[in-house]
Every structure is written in structure tokens, then in C-alpha cells.
Amino acid sequence: MPGLKFRYKRRLVRFRSNQWVQAVLYYSHYYYEKTMETNSTLKKQFFQFLPFLFASALTGLVAVLYSLLFNYAEHFSFYLFGLNKYLIFLVTPACFLFSWWVSDKYSVNSKGSGIPQVMCAMELNNRQKPFLAKIFGFRMIIVKVLSSCVKVVGGGILGREGPTIQIASSIFYLVHKYLPKWWGPISQKNMLIAGASSGLAAAFNTPLGGIIFAIEELSRYHIKYYKSPLFIAVIIAGLTAQGLTGSYLYLGYPKVDVSGLKVVLAVILVAVLCGYFGSKTGTVILGVMRFFKRVRKRKYQAVFVVFCGLFVATFIYLVGIDAMGSGKHIMETRLFNENKTVDWYLPFVRMNGLIASFSFGGAGGVFSPSLSAGASFGALVAQLLELKGQSANMIILIGMTAFLTGMSRAPFTSAIIVFEMTDRHSIIFYLLLGAILANIIGSLVDKKSFYDRLKDTYLDEVSEKTKMAATPD
């Protein structure tokens, strides 16, 4: 019988016919070690993914609770306006003032959308990492929810999607922070990216949008380094949210029609208009914010906040509930009602209301207000070109995509979000076309996006504080 050969630990071992027992022992030991090595790898991977699983499920739960609270606050504001329309002149300034005060006093980094804060955290170096505790944390979550909900009770034009992203990143940050010391090393940056993307996915029920958002807006290094945690976080957060609220689309199933040269012309026109005004809205907000920062005395800042409240209240008094809240009702009524007409001034009312609601501080995002402003522009263009029904719906969706692109300068994220919110596969190429055109026009207004400008502002503030902390007395 010929001898038996096999390679074990890089050594060629020979067995003669009378050495079968020894061969069995060698093989058994070899496969035992391979099994132990595989088990060790699986155990390591399990402990790597367990924090992501836990944080994602918690994110889905918190996102659902926040959405319920935010929606209740928005409907309560409609109820107050229905009781007495003059009441808005008292409620709006008071709510704006409280929203600004609670953020300014208890958590400065809870102000605004939350997306620039997350982007800032991605670029902090090791010397600046202690500031992460101020950007994320329990206090920030509580203040963010309270400030945004109170502001929307006052009729402020804002959304909850940006705040949800910062809240989700905070949850992932806290899970990472409180891992025991014996736990294997996990990248904090991966946790923050996964948190932000899962927050957006849970807020809009758009998992692909969350992934594209992470790639397009947050990541500065190759996707292969964080793709598995990212996908897990988005899936678990989305499934948790769906398990609590049921499977749903943010805007339902509007019917669309893309036939005809006039529709293509309308797509181009609305993309150009929304790209310009979306980017312009961002630059005006930044200008008002710079002016507000130059006002040093708090009593004068309070006067400015009250003025913003009265400014928004005036629009609400004149226009009605279309000048309040996130604007989701505007999108739904235009997409699912036969009457899609809008007054020519409605898009500009939404834009100015967003500027006044966002610029002074207090929590609140720009995603939903941008979508509603774009929907108003889309309905207006469809009205001017005498497009009705399904063709008008097509232009409304393009307007939503283009205006959000003008603000965020994230064309693929904007197109995918609107696509997933409506499940309209047939118009994905038109959505991408509108987003790309809007991105080009927006770049002519400002080379950087609204979020990038705010991120640079936060980084400058952190750098200045770091220098002050390092300078000896």
C-alpha cells in the first residue's frame, strides 16, 4: 500500500500503511484546531455586531416615539389655529422663545438640524474628540426632542428627520461609550455613520436612502471599511420601526405619467427653479444666522426670536395651515387630490417661514420643509403649463427632489428618498435627472452645500475652543 501524504502546519507529513492510527490522530487534531479557529472568528464577529444590533433596535424605537410626539405637536398647532386664528400671535413667539432658550441654556449643540453636527463629528481629530460628548448624549436627545416639538406647536416650519439623525448617532455613541473594557475594539466612526444612516432610514422608512446618505454625505473613506455595520444598522432600525408602526410609505402611492414633451420641459424647468431657490434658501439662512451671532446681548437675541415668531405668525394668519409645520399635508393633498392648484406665493411663504424658523436656533430640520417647498414649486409649474392629474404628480415629485438637492447638495440621496417614499419605479431616471440639474444650478449659487457651511462653522468653533483649552493661563 502506498504511503499517505498531507500538509499540516507547513510540514509535509508521510504515513506508511502501518501508521493509520497516527494519521487519524493528526487529522483529528487538525480539524479540531480549524473548528476552534472558526468558532473564535464567529464569536469575535458576533461581539462586533452585537452593539450595532442593540443600538439599531433602540434607534427604531426612539424614532417611532419621536415621530408620534412630533406629529401630535403638529396637529395640536393646527387645532390651536382652528380655535382662534389670532391666538397664533401669542403662541408662536412664546414657543419660538422657549425653543431657543432651552437649547441655548441646556444643550447648544441641539440647535438646528443635527446633520452638520454629525458631519463635524466625523472630521474631529484625536485632540478634539472630547467635544463629542457635547455633540451627542442623553441631554442633547431630551433637549432636541423638547425644543423641536415646542417649536412646531408654535407653527414653526421644520422637520424631524435631521434631528432624528443626530438622536440616532447619539444612541450609537452612547452604546459605544458604555461598552465594557473587555469588549473588542469597535470603530467609533463606524458607529456614528451607522447611527446617522439608520436614523434617516427609520424617520422616512427609506433604507436605501439611509445607505446612500451615509455614502454621499458622511463618509470620507472607502465603503468597504463600514459596509457590514451600516447595512445591519439600517435593516434592524427599519425593521424595528416597521414592526411598531406597520409597513408604510411616507407619501403613499401617487399615480404618475411621464408621457409628452411638455412633461419633459416641465421637469427641466422645475429642476432649475428648485435648485436655485433651494440653494438660495440655504445661503439666506446662513446670512441670518451670522447676523444673529453678532447680536451679543441675550435680551436683544430674545427680541430677535420674538420678531421671527411674529413674522411666521403673520404668514400663518394670512395663509393658514399651509404656512405651518413640516408641510407633509401639502405634499399629500397635492399628490392625492384632483385639485392641485397652489397660490403663486405659497412656495415663497414656505421658504421664508423656514428661514425665520431655523435661523435663530432651537431644534428642527430642513428635510420635510424642503420637500414641501419643492412640492409647491412643482404644483405651480404644472399649473402654469396646464398639466393635470398624473402628469402634475410627476412634476411635484421632481420639485421635491430638486429643492432638497439644492439645499443638501446630495442629488442621489434626494432622488432615492423620494423614490422610496412613493415606490414609483418608473420615474427613477427622471428623479435623478431633476436632482443632477438642481445640483448644477445650486452649485452656481454656492459651491458648498448648506450642511457643509454649517459643518465648517461648527469645526471652527471646536478648533477655537481646543486652542483656548490648550493655552496656559
Per the model's pLDDT, the better-predicted residue between 462 and 377 turns out to be: 377
Residue 15 forms beta bridges with which residues?
4
Count of helices and strands (H, E) across the chain? 18, 2
- DSSP codes of every residue in 155-221: T---BSHHHHHHHHHHHHHHHHHTS-TTSPP--HHHHHHHHHHHHHHHHHT-HHHHHHHIIIII--S
The predicted model gives 194-206 an average pLDDT of 85
Average pLDDT over residues 220-235: 65
C-alpha cell at 364: 428642527
| Higher pLDDT among residues 327 and 248, named by residue | 327
Rounded Cα distance, 39 and 456, in Å: 46
Which of the listed ranges 45-49, 54-58, 420-424 does the model predict with the highest average pLDDT? 54-58
pLDDT category at 209 given cuts 50, 70, 90 is: confident
What pLDDT is attached to residue 226?
61
Residue 226 is classified by DSSP as T
Collapsing DSSP to helix, strand or coil, 297 comes out as coil
pLDDT: is 358 or 23 the higher one? 358
Please give the single-letter amino acid code of residue 93. P
Q: How sure is the predictor about 15, in pLDDT bands with cuts at 50, 70 and 90?
A: very low
What percentage of residues in the chain have a pLDDT greater than 70?
84
pLDDT grade for 31, boundaries at 50, 70 and 90 = low
CB 442 within 8 Å of CB 409? yes
Residue with grid cell 419605479, as numbered in its chain = 425
Q: What are 346-398's pLDDT values in tens digits?
A: 999 999 999 999 988 888 889 899 999 999 999 999 999 988 888 899 999 99
As a whole number of angstroms, the longest Cα–Cα distance in the chain is 103
Tens digits of residue pLDDT in 140-179: 999 999 999 999 999 999 999 889 999 999 999 999 888 8
Q: How many Å apart are CA 206 and CA 362, to the nearest integer?
A: 26
- Phi-psi region at 10: left, alpha or beta (left = phi > 0; alpha = psi -120 to 50): left
Residues forming beta bridges with residue 450, ordered by sequence position: none
> Which residues are CB-contacts of 150 (< 8 A; sequence separation ≥ 6)?
73, 95, 98, 99, 102
pTM: 0.86
Beta-carbon count within 10 A of 53 CB? 15
227: helix, coil or strand? helix
Residue 245: exposure state from Cβ atoms within 10 A (0-12, 13-18, ≥19): middle
Q: Is residue 138 pLDDT above 80, yes or no? A: yes
Structural domains present in the chain: 49-245 (1.10.3080.10), 261-459 (1.10.3080.10)
What pLDDT, on a 0 to 100 scale, did the predictor assign at position 434? 93
Place of cell 465648517: 456
